[in-house]
Amino acid sequence: MVGIKSDAGNVRELNEDYASFIEDERFKIYLVADGMGGHNAGEIASNLAVKSIMRYLMEHSEENEDLLLNAVKYANNEIYEISQKNDKCKGMGTTITGCFIKGDIIQVVNVGDSCCFSIKGNEIKKVTKDHSWVQELIDAGAITEEEGRVHPKKNIITRALGTNSSVKIDIFNIDKSESSMFLLCSDGLSNEVQKEEMVEIVNRYKNFNEACEKLVDLAKARGGKDNITVLLFGGEV
């Protein structure tokens, strides 16, 4: 079962987030991207990231070594090349977070500050680690996690797809027994809604699309200053 919801929020006119998924007999892939750049370049970058990763996986699904990693590298290159050729796209980039399932393999990928959470019963764990200036301050012990949540510069990211010819990509290998569901989201959700609230809503609304809508509604009720995207899947992973 899959639920998906993306919303521009209360402040921004453009929705520069993009989310999609493929459930194929060979593999499953679920992706959320949060674009950035002038004009509508952020929208282009997030869309291109998701579609490029999916295309690479479809065309190279027989590969076993570093398939997800190579797909994200391919997407980075696609975005970077377009940004170099088109003045309106110069400097564009995007976050990416995703979950890839092939046989017994479950991998989570992350670049930027979109998030992946694993859920089992009432337990929720953040799988990814934000590539952000505020996260670096937290890691250094300069501020607490609570201070980080309200920090005025919490939107500054230290890694993105497409802004350079190469990018450092985080890949996490997940034990199948540790999760029954996964929630992917842009920071428009995670900045407004605590993870404990996420799991409470997911467990209250058994319909995944309804759960996604309720999560977006809550983020909007708390200001909705950014685009908000959530993708929820599980049951059979």
Enumerate residues 6+ apart whose C-beta is below 8 A from 55. Answer: none
Distance of CA 13 to CAs 7, 8, 89, 156, Å?
10, 7, 19, 20
Query: Would 51 be classed as within a structural domain?
Result: yes
Distance of CA 62 to CAs 27, 67, 72, Å?
10, 9, 16
36: containing domain = 2-125+158-234
Averaged confidence pLDDT in the chain = 93
Query: Would 134 be classed as within a structural domain?
Result: no
Query: Would 138 be classed as within a structural domain?
Result: no
Torsion of CA 101, 103, 106, 107, to 10 degrees: -70
How many folded domains does the chain comprise?
A: 1
- Distance CA(107)–CA(175), nearest Å, equals 9
Q: What is the pLDDT of residue 207?
A: 95
Q: Residue-wise over 167-184: b if at least 16 C-beta within 10 A, else e? A: bebbeeebeeeebebbbb
Determine how many CB atoms are found less than 10 A away from the CB of residue 213.
17
In 3D, which of 63, 59, 87, 86 has the Cα closest to residue 75?
Answer: 59
Q: What is the pLDDT of residue 135?
A: 86
Query: Would 139 be classed as within a structural domain?
Result: no
- Distance CA(68)–CA(82), nearest Å, equals 22
Q: What is the pLDDT of residue 39?
A: 63
| CA quadruple 194, 198, 200, 204: dihedral sign | positive
Kindly report the pTM of this predicted structure. 0.95
Query: Would 147 be classed as within a structural domain?
Result: no
Enumerate residues 6+ apart whose C-beta is below 8 A from 119. Answer: 179, 180, 181, 182, 183, 199, 202, 234
Enumerate residues 6+ apart whose C-beta is below 8 A from 24. Answer: 58, 61
For the stretch 18-55, pLDDT in tens is 999 999 999 999 999 999 976 679 999 999 999 999 99
For the stretch 200-234, pLDDT in tens is 999 999 899 999 999 999 999 999 999 999 999 99
- Distance CA(102)–CA(105), nearest Å, equals 5
- Distance CA(16)–CA(37), nearest Å, equals 9
CATH number at residue 18: 3.60.40.10
Query: Would 151 be classed as within a structural domain?
Result: no
Question: What is the percent of the chain with per-residue pLDDT over 70, rounded to a whole number?
Answer: 98
Query: Would 189 be classed as within a structural domain?
Result: yes
Is residue 148 within 8 A of residue 135, CB to CB? The reply is yes
- The encoded tokens of residue 77 equal 């290159």
With cut-offs at 50, 70 and 90, classify the pLDDT of residue 236.
Answer: low
Query: Comparing 65-74, 84-93, 144-153, which segment has the lowest mean pLDDT?
Result: 144-153
Residue type, 219: A
Residue 237, pLDDT above cutoff 50: no
CA 55 to chain centre: 18
Query: Would 200 be classed as within a structural domain?
Result: yes
Q: What is the pLDDT of residue 179?
A: 87
For the stretch 99-128, pLDDT in tens is 999 998 999 999 999 999 999 999 999 999
For the stretch 52-69, pLDDT in tens is 999 999 999 988 789 999
Q: What is the pLDDT of residue 146?
A: 82
